[in-house]
């Protein structure tokens, strides 16, 4: 019998991203449970099938099953929960979607963990072993379903659910043990990357939360409470990834890797001090990068930075609450390229209130900057964001869908412009960028084509 089985229900449905990473959140929970003496198994469905996932969970004979869900995993999480309902003493949902919408999951699950779950699940396991009620554990949404012979959840006034109260976020995240990477199928992930990219890469995080408040950003778990790990703690984990698990590169999956120039330079100095030879990539804000930061990152092995530039128009950036200007975006990209770091960027085309002029400004910026890669999407209003509040009365669909490729987008709300126009704009940006790279100084010969496609874009509904 296993104390806890943690499930990452991300099945390959034909729309899976090219870059695949193990579930860090479940790795942190597993490590915390093991640190407290509990046996744990992670069932990662990234390379699995439905039947195999069910088999892997059931053969572990778990007392507790925890299933993670983000916005793109609601359906499989609920279906797995229903299928595994009778295979454990306690069925728990956690992650961004359960944290934000617990009632969506309480019909299937016994409880929902809200926010950070490491300490919460350790306390839950103690209740399972020691008896008593779960209403003493902060951070839980509970049903009144009888669980085990010694455990009964007390719902308020005999109602259907009870929230036990907010659990404070962990101040010192150095105290959280490193993710239990031995519970991931590292061989499978490494084979995948060697086959597709000729190198191996895995993820890590150096911080939790983000101090900024972009209009479209959804953060039901960490919010704006930004906490960083110490440089020594971060590099300790980097050494484990490189020396123990033999990965070639590291993707820092923080919501924002660079929020403090001082902190990122200290991380880089620690990497150099230990002579750790590894390439790494991260997300960053364009207004924080300067020459000193770019130089330190390059010298410490930074291979690529991805900026959330979002728009090529200052008015649109203001609407998005990016607190960023086009000039800052351009300067940051050129700064990193000057230091030999590859640069990627994210853009959104067709934000509420945009015009033909503002959208063409974004298309031009994306195609003219010296970017190694960029992604451009239509706006997706995630529940709980300012963007959602702007369009909630115009919503035509509730289900967020992962694009199959760069042009396979879907509008979830009534827009001033058609999805065909926005898709054409995305195609135009990607095509212009590719042609500019191919032709270099001879791109000017395509001036008539660019003006023609500008005009065609303007004329589309």
pLDDT in tens, 76-89: 999 999 999 999 99
Q: How far is CA 56 from the centre of its chain?
A: 26
Among 331, 326, 321, 320, smallest CA distance to 293 is for 331
Q: Does domain 199-459 have CATH number 3.20.20.70?
A: yes
* Domain spans in the chain, listed from the N-terminal domain onward: 2-163, 199-459
pLDDT at site 289? 92
CA angle 179, 184, 188 (to 5 degrees): 140
pLDDT at residue 32, rounded to an integer: 98
Query: What is the phi/psi pair of residue 92, to 5°?
Result: -125, 140
pLDDT at 339 (0 to 100): 97
Q: Measure the CA–CA gap between 257 and 260, rounded to whole angstroms.
A: 9
| 199-459 matches 2-163 in CATH topology | no
Decide yes or no: CATH 1.10.3720.10 for domain 2-163: no
The predicted pLDDT at position 145 comes to 60
Nearest to 408 by CA among 447, 382, 378, 386: 378
Low-confidence ranges of the chain (pLDDT < 50): 146-159, 402, 404-406
Question: Which of 137, 40, 50, 125 lies closest to 90 in space, CA to CA?
Answer: 125
Whole-model pTM: value is: 0.91
pLDDT, residue 161, reads 75
Element (H, E) at 196: helix 186-197
Looking at residue 410, its pLDDT comes to 83
In terms of DSSP H, where are the helices of 401-446?
419-439
Answer whether 133's CB lies under 8 Å from 110's CB. no
């Amino acid at each position: 019998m296993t104390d806890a089985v943690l499930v990452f229900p991300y099945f390959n449905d034909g729309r899976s991203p090219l870059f695949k990473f193990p579930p860090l959140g479940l790795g942190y929970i597993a490590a915390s449970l093991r640190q407290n003496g509990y046996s744990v198994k992670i069932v990662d469905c990234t390379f699995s099938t439905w039947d195999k996932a069910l088999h892997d969970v059931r053969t572990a004979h778990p007392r507790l099953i925890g299933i993670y869900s983000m916005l793109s995993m609601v359906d499989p999480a609920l279906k797995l929960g229903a299928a595994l309902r009778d295979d454990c003493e306690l069925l728990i949902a956690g992650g961004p979607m359960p944290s934000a919408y617990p009632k969506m999951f309480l019909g299937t699950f016994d409880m929902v963990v809200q926010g950070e779950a490491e300490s919460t699940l350790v306390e839950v396991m103690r209740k399972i072993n020691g008896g008593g009620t779960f209403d003493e554990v902060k951070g839980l949404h509970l049903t009144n379903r009888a669980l085990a012979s010694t455990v009964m959840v007390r719902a308020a006034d005999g109602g259907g659910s009870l929230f036990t109260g907010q659990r404070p976020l962990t101040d010192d995240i150095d105290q959280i043990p490193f993710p239990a990477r031995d519970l991931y199928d590292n061989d499978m992930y490494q084979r995948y990357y060697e086959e597709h990219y000729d190198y191996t890469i895995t993820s890590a995080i150096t911080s939790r939360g983000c101090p900024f408040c972009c209009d479209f950003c959804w953060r039901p778990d960490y919010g704006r409470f930004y906490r960083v790990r110490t440089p020594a703690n971060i590099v300790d984990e980097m050494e484990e990834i490189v020396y123990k698990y033999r990965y070639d590169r590291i993707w820092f999956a923080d919501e924002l890797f660079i929020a403090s120039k001082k902190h990122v330079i200290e991380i880089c100095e620690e990497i150099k001090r230990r002579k750790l030879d590894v390439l790494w990539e991260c997300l960053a804000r364009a207004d924080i990068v300067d020459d000193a930061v770019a130089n330190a990152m390059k010298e410490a092995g930074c291979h690529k930075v991805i900026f959330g530039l979002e728009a090529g128009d200052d008015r649109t950036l203001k609407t998005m609450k990016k607190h960023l200007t086009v000039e800052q975006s351009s300067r940051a990209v050129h700064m990193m390229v000057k230091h030999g770091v590859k640069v990627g960027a994210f853009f959104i085309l067709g934000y509420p209130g945009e015009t033909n002029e503002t959208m063409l400004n974004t298309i031009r910026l994306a195609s003219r900057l010296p970017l190694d890669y960029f992604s451009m999407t239509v706006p997706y209003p995630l529940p709980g964001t300012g963007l959602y509040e702007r369009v909630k009365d115009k919503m035509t669909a509730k289900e967020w869908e992962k694009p199959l490729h760069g042009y396979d987008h879907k509008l979830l709300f009534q827009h001033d412009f058609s999805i065909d126009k926005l898709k054409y704009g995305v195609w135009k940006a990607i095509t212009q960028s590719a042609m500019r790279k191919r032709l270099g100084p001879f791109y000017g010969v395509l001036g008539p084509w660019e003006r023609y496609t500008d005009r065609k874009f303007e004329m589309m509904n």
